[in-house]
Amino acid sequence: MPLDGQASSTAVRIAGLNARYRHHGATAVLEHALRDREVGRVALVSSFGAESVVLLHLLSVISPHTPVLFIDTQMLFAETIAYQKTLAEKLYLTDIRRLSPDPAQVAMEDPDGTLHQFNTDACCALRKTEVLERALSGFDAWITGRKRYQSGTRAEVEFFEADRGARLKINPLAHWTRDDLQDYIINNRLPRHPLVAKGYPSIGCAPCTSAVKPGEDPRAGRWRGTEKTECGIHVVNGRMVRISAKETR
């Protein structure tokens, strides 16, 4: 199918799915997406970050055997690696796939581990975007934890979105607020990422994540001092999102 025809077909498909599940809650969207033949083969992608436990817990209740893709960029906080192991055991998730960048490619493009200091986009591409793209080649859709309240680039997130080609992206928590997340975690007695108590409401790679002061945007600690707001794994309206909307105009 020509690219324009494929894009049109995917857009129609997404519009139909969003219309079908418009009045559903997160649990129903996730449950139906995992069983809807129109969606196809699905994996959940998780950073095991500050809010990841909510979606992982929902998945564990509905379908604990669903593949969970975890990208170990080799620059994560030690606390994130430990947290991933804790949640895997507590939630009985049986198919967590830990993904890492290709050693040969890292040796060629970032031999001394300093690429993030002068080209964050290239570092994210090497250690995250390209790794995920290879892993997703065997799936028709992937589940994310993206939510509207997180940033301007996510303000209009829907339950279903287009990704690359005909692949879909599913955002069951799109309409949840920070209070919804906190209530869910408390009510289900779920363990928090250990860095949350230290002022990290959004957690990525250690070199590019800092603590957030009271009153700051929750994602202010990501790539602090730059216009960058996204790592590049998400595509919005056919464009890869890595930096602020202001800089893409």
Which residues are part of the catalytic machinery?
231
Rounded to whole angstroms, how far apart are CA atoms 59 and 76? 23
Residue 101 exposure: Cα atoms within 13 Å on the Cβ side = 23
Considering only CA atoms, which of 193, 186, 190, 200 is closest in space to residue 82?
193
Query: CB count, 10 Å around CB of 119?
Result: 14
Q: ∠ at Cα 58 (76, 93), nearest 5°? A: 60
- Closest by CA to 205, choosing from 113, 83, 71, 75, is 75
User: DSSP H helical segments within 119-237, as ranges?
Assistant: 120-124, 130-136, 178-187
DSSP 178: H
